[in-house]
Amino acid sequence: MAKYIFVTGGVTSSLGKGIIAASLAKLLQSRGLQVTIQKFDPYINVDPGTLNPYEHGECYVTDDGAETDLDLGHYERFLNIPTSQANNVTTGRIYQTVINKERAGDYLGKTVQVVPHITDEIKRRMMLLGNSGKFDIVITELGGTVGDIESLPFIEAVRQIQWELPEEDCVIVHLTLIPYLNAAKELKTKPTQHSVRMLSQEGVHPNVIVCRTEHPINEEIKRKIALFCNVKPEAVIEAMDASTIYEVPLKMLEEQLDVTVLKKLHITNYAPPVLDKWNDFLHKLKNPIHTVNIGLIGKYVELQDAYKSILEAFIHSGAVNQCKVNIINVHSEFITADNVNSQLQGLDGLLVAPGFGSRGVDGKIEAVKYARENKLPFFGICLGMQMAVIEFARNVLGFSDAHSTEMNENTSHPVIALMEEQKGITNKGGTMRLGAYDCSIEANSLAEKIYQSNLISERHRHRWEFNNQYLNEFIQSGLLPTGKNNKTGLVEIVELKDHPFFIGVQYHPELKSTVENPHPIFVSFVNAAKDFQLSKKG
Ligand code: GLN
């Protein structure tokens, strides 16, 4: 039987519930328990797949092809185990299920209501992973902030679960903010008191209060919070700002968040935490020997969350190389043939980011050309790979209007195109290639050297594909398809002959990079950037 931990948030959003949940999970895992984390989001979208990155940051894709909240990326990066569709549920999905059942007549003429029908469906999904028999502990992060209208059904479901389960099978962790008033030189506990009271009015009583703060919380403040929030002082946990999110598990270990939770769950047979790999990573991260400058060419660069997994993958791969990776954000919309040299000079590597639509595409093509001609290490992801193909077609093969039919349906050289079977499907998302696909890698290629393997599996999220009608022309001129899907023949990896490091991938390697398994392409790319820098210095 699994036990359940619920993580709620109070006072304000952006407190880092996902990181606290992932850190607690990491500690429990490091003590030998099987743990998973799931996120329940209060919005009406069935999944974040249709959300603009400006709205919701990156859309994280799982092996089973679910388009999910970016917090699932943190869960995977911390725990080093894959998540799935079951790990992310939205209000939209809950309602969709209930409404489908209602249309099918499953409620036998009853009035369908928020309580019990919606809350029952929430509860069923909250217990789903726990009932799989695979986990000792399931952590559920509730999106939104206590007091939001839209979170109410989730809170009500948690209330019922807390009431239904034996006391020792359920813990509520409430994450809150303790603001510091500079004028008064004081930390203030009132907002926390209010948010806990609000939660209590809804019938949910937190067992542990985790306090985000910019200043240390002394014993007196802990006692005050404990008294007003009806928990023991040792259940008030300080969560000071950390220099990196990867330090948070260690801070939580010091504060004994894991032990406090385990005590409440009556789990006694746990081992001392094994965090050797984690500590080794942190040590390398904090003590870099080199620094490289990598240009990130994208159209959402002003919004850090839009490229979350890419940025984290650089942190993992930088640490392996004992190298600080400075990300230089370059807005693709502002790169032109005239300014490309001045915009990109001084970089040690160039990553052209994924994306949809035509905005900023010309700048991306200019950036690829610069990397190809200047032998600058290049890494193109998804749209970035497609741009590399288009650039090569235009400037090497001489097809001056070559394009993807996503941007120009009438191009005379559709080197990136929709496959026949995709045409005619209009439902957004309906034609998207999503989730894990196998890819065979050619012998003696850069890809083989990077992966040390000839068969890999990577995650996809795109519609358009390399157009195989042009395969021979590309091969003859030196852009080689070194990774292919065996079943469909679709090109998944291209690399440039006679270039120290030039690789484009149709999939999203960033989604599989974790602290304990940094992604090999990112690791090799950072290494190539280091070499490039050295060669410049001569
Ligand atoms: N827009 C491109 C496609 O749909 C690339 C998508 C992406 O970069 N994720 O194929």
**pLDDT of residue 423 exceeding 80:** no
Ligand 1 atom, smallest distance to 355 CA? 8
Mean pLDDT, rounded, for 352-380: 95
d(CA 386, ligand 1 centre) in Å: 8
Give the pLDDT confidence score for residue 332 in this predicted structure: 94
Residues 124, 129, 133: CA angle, nearest 5 degrees = 115
d(CA 161, ligand 1 centre) in Å: 41
Write the pLDDT tens digit of every residue in 78-94. Answer: 999 999 999 999 999 99
Mean pLDDT, rounded, of the chain: 95
Give the pLDDT confidence score for residue 266 in this predicted structure: 97
Cα of 394 vs its chain's centroid, Å? 34
d(CA 428, ligand 1 centre) in Å: 13
Q: Atom 6 in ligand 1: which residue has the minimum CA distance? A: 462
| Residue labelled with tokens 């006391």 | 167
In sequence order, the 6+-apart residues with CB closer than 8 A to the CB of 155 are: 8, 142, 146, 199, 202, 203, 204
| Confidence bin at 56 (pLDDT 50/70/90) | confident
pTM of the model as a whole: 0.94
Write the pLDDT tens digit of every residue in 127-168. Answer: 999 999 999 999 999 999 999 999 999 999 999 999 999 999
- Active site residue: 238, 366, 495, 510, which one? 510
Give the pLDDT confidence score for residue 302 in this predicted structure: 82
Give the pLDDT confidence score for residue 259 in this predicted structure: 97
CA dist., res. 496 & res. 148, Å (int): 52
Give the pLDDT confidence score for residue 412 in this predicted structure: 97
Percent above pLDDT 90 for the chain: 92
CA dist., res. 111 & res. 117, Å (int): 9
Q: In what order do the strands lie in the sheet with 3-9?
A: 88-90, 35-41, 137-142, 3-9, 170-177, 208-213, 236-240
Annotated catalytic residue 508: yes
Q: Given ligand 1 and candidates 299, 356, 425, which is best to mutate, with the most ligand atoms within 8 Å of its CB?
A: 356
Ligand 1 atom, smallest distance to 356 CA? 1
Q: Given ligand 1 and candidates 58, 382, 506, which is best to mutate, with the most ligand atoms within 8 Å of its CB?
A: 382
| Confidence bin at 244 (pLDDT 50/70/90) | very high
Ligand 1 atom, smallest distance to 384 CA? 8
- Active site residue: 366, 382, 391, 460, which one? 382
Check if the beta carbon of residue 508 is closer than 8 Å to that of residue 522.
Answer: no
Annotated catalytic residue 382: yes
HSE value, Cβ hemisphere, 13 Å, CA-based, for 509: 31
Give the pLDDT confidence score for residue 422 in this predicted structure: 61
Annotated catalytic residue 510: yes
Mean pLDDT, rounded, for 273-284: 97
Ligand 1 atom, smallest distance to 354 CA? 8
Ligand 1 atom, smallest distance to 464 CA? 10
Q: Atom 8 in ligand 1: which residue has the minimum CA distance? A: 354
| Confidence bin at 13 (pLDDT 50/70/90) | confident
**pLDDT of residue 421 exceeding 70:** no
Give the pLDDT confidence score for residue 190 in this predicted structure: 95
| Confidence bin at 536 (pLDDT 50/70/90) | confident
Q: Atom 1 in ligand 1: which residue has the minimum CA distance? A: 356
**pLDDT of residue 349 exceeding 80:** yes
**pLDDT of residue 425 exceeding 60:** no
| Confidence bin at 4 (pLDDT 50/70/90) | very high
What is the 3-state composition of the chain as percent helix, strand, coil, each rounded to the nearest 5?
45, 20, 35
DSSP for residue 299 = S
d(CA 464, ligand 1 centre) in Å: 6
CA dist., res. 18 & res. 22, Å (int): 6
Residue 20 token pair:
């606290």
| Ligand 1 binding pocket, CB closer than 6 Å | 354-356, 382-383, 406, 461-464
Give the pLDDT confidence score for residue 430 in this predicted structure: 59
Mean pLDDT, rounded, for 174-198: 95
Check if the beta carbon of residue 511 is closer than 8 Å to that of residue 309.
Answer: yes
**pLDDT of residue 420 exceeding 90:** no
Write the pLDDT tens digit of every residue in 61-70. Answer: 999 999 999 9
d(CA 245, ligand 1 centre) in Å: 29
**pLDDT of residue 428 exceeding 60:** no
In sequence order, the 6+-apart residues with CB closer than 8 A to the CB of 451 are: 441, 520, 521
CA dihedral 210, 213, 219, 225 (to 10 degrees): -50
Give the pLDDT confidence score for residue 53 in this predicted structure: 80
Mean pLDDT, rounded, for 294-321: 94
**pLDDT of residue 341 exceeding 60:** yes
In sequence order, the 6+-apart residues with CB closer than 8 A to the CB of 511 are: 60, 61, 73, 76, 309, 459
| Residue labelled with tokens 């709620």 | 8
Q: Which amino acid is at 377?
A: P
**pLDDT of residue 431 exceeding 80:** no
Helices (H), 46-118: 53-56, 71-79, 91-103
Write the pLDDT tens digit of every residue in 487-509. Answer: 999 999 999 999 999 999 999 99
Write the pLDDT tens digit of every residue in 223-242. Answer: 999 999 999 999 999 999 99
